[in-house]
Amino acid sequence: MPDKIQMRTPLVEMDGDEMTRVLWKIVKEKLINPYVDLKVEYYDLGLQARDKSDDKVTFEAAEAIKKYGVGVKCATITPNAERVKEYNLKKMWPSPNGTIRAILDGTVFRKPILVKNVKPSIPSWKNPIIIGRHAYGDIYKGQELHVTEPGKAEIVFTSASGKETRVTIMEMKEPGVIQGIHNLESSIESFARACFIYALSEKVDLWFATKDTICKVYDGVFKDIFNKVFNNEFKDKFEKAGITYFYTLIDDAVARVMKSEGGFLWACKNYDGDVMSDMVASAFGSLAMMTSVLVSPKGYFEFEAAHGTVQKHYYKYLKGEKTSTNSVALIFAWTGALKKRGELDNIPQLIAFTEKLEKATIKTIEDGKMTGDLARLADPAPSQSLSSEEFLDAIASTLNSLK
């Protein structure tokens, strides 16, 4: 075996919970450690370790990502009342993803991994459609009123200096509903910057769409900020990378997406992203084939799988039963993070290795070896589905056989 690939800067590794924690270890043992002399700074974000450290470890991990620039995270339990009992927790700790996102001020991008034998529900989709969802404001931080008698609905803004601005929404002659929403220029700007950075990093076109023909002011500000950030900071970089930024109306975007071949980043306002990411994910196949990356406006990256800790499979595993859990999104979290490290530190061998591992993973599935979630969808259907570990062994053997 040739010498292992050396790294220069540590990768921030965040371990997690349940079935994904089990697979995390095997992925490293079988697919990465034999080829890469892993340099990591390890943070245990497993629920017990978070509880023991009063969740300090989550904050330390986020700070480490700020220091080194790239992190890879296993799925973690966000505790609810049941988990507090199950793990005898001191407190119902908040979601680690929420904590990390708040510290890094990031936008989450979700990208499906495609294989030839699992066809998207939309036949024209040949390349991934990546969704970038703005994660602040609009209806998710709105106020609502159900009014039961006639009256006047108004928007009132009282500035910090005491000046009042009023607009009438409606002279209501009967009962009805009213809603007030907001967003912030700084948040929209961060979102825009994260989208441009991600499109450049993936070398894909960026689409952004709103309804600025109807919401001339609200969505107009979104459109203007995207334009400003693009023209001031990214126009030349996009030209050099051979990619484009394209703005259109949301209904036009939906029509174009359905007829497209994929292969672009679709930046969505908060609600559009909520709805469209579920549509895109389910049309592409399985949650276990969806990667997720948090990109901060400062250019920090945190890679993970889009799915959770696969609790049901873990309870089977604890009972000693065979599981058939798909590790593809976990593997791609590692390859995504190592590739980014390779790009930042200029280590071509590391980049080449991640591409080879991704290729081996896809080839294994395309050769008919897969876990149960994919076996149910694949055409042709495989004669049998593999267990969690058999699948990883199959990838390891494909990887070994690739030049």
Stretch touching ligand NAP by CB under 6 A, among 147-155, 277-285, 307-315, 378-386: 307-315
> Which positions from 144 through 183 interact with ligand NAP, judged by CB under 6 A?
none
Would you call 45 helix, strand, or coil by DSSP? coil
The string of DSSP codes covering 313-362 is HHHHHHTT-------HHHHHHHHHHHHHHHHHHT-HHHHHHHHHHHHHHH
Between residues 84 and 215, which has the closer beta carbon with respect to ligand NAP?
84
Q: Is 325 in the site for ligand NAP (CB under 6 A)?
A: yes
**Smallest distance from the beta carbon of 289 to Mg ion, in angstroms?**
18
Q: Is 76 in the site for ligand NAP (CB under 6 A)?
A: yes
Q: Is 278 in the site for Mg ion (CB under 5 A)?
A: yes
Between residues 307 and 369, which has the closer beta carbon with respect to ligand NAP?
307
Please state whether the peptide bond connecting residue 380 to the residue before it is cis, i.e. omega within 30 degrees of 0. yes
Cα–Cα distances in Å, from 120 out to 38, 232, 367?
35, 37, 18
Nearest-angstrom CA–CA distance, 326 and 388: 6
Amino acid symbol at 357: L
Residues 6+ apart with CB under 8 A from 224: none
| 143-147 and 107-112 beta bridge pairing | unpaired
Instruction: Check the CA dihedral 382-384-386-387 and report its sign.
Output: positive
Q: Which does 304 bind (CB under 5 to 8 A by kind): Mg ion, ligand NAP, none?
A: ligand NAP
The token pair that represents 132 in the structure block: 């970038």
Stretch touching ligand NAP by CB under 6 A, among 142-150, 251-259, 264-272, 302-310: 302-310
Chain residue whose CB lies nearest Mg ion:
274
Q: Is 308 in the site for ligand NAP (CB under 6 A)?
A: yes
Q: Is 138 in the site for Mg ion (CB under 5 A)?
A: no
> Which positions from 270 through 299 interact with ligand NAP, judged by CB under 6 A?
287-288
The token pair that represents 208 in the structure block: 């952004």
Chain residue whose CB lies nearest ligand NAP:
308
SS3 percent helix, strand, coil of the chain, rounded to 5, is: 45, 20, 35
Q: Is 274 in the site for Mg ion (CB under 5 A)?
A: yes
Amino acid symbol at 289: M
Stretch touching ligand NAP by CB under 6 A, among 127-135, 144-152, 305-313, 338-346: 305-313
Stretch touching Mg ion by CB under 5 A, among 12-20, 191-199, 264-272, 274-282: 274-282
Q: Is 77 in the site for ligand NAP (CB under 6 A)?
A: yes
Give the residues lining the site for Mg ion (CB under 5 A). Answer: 274, 278
Residues near ligand NAP (CB under 6 A): 75-78, 97, 287-288, 304, 307-312, 325-326, 373
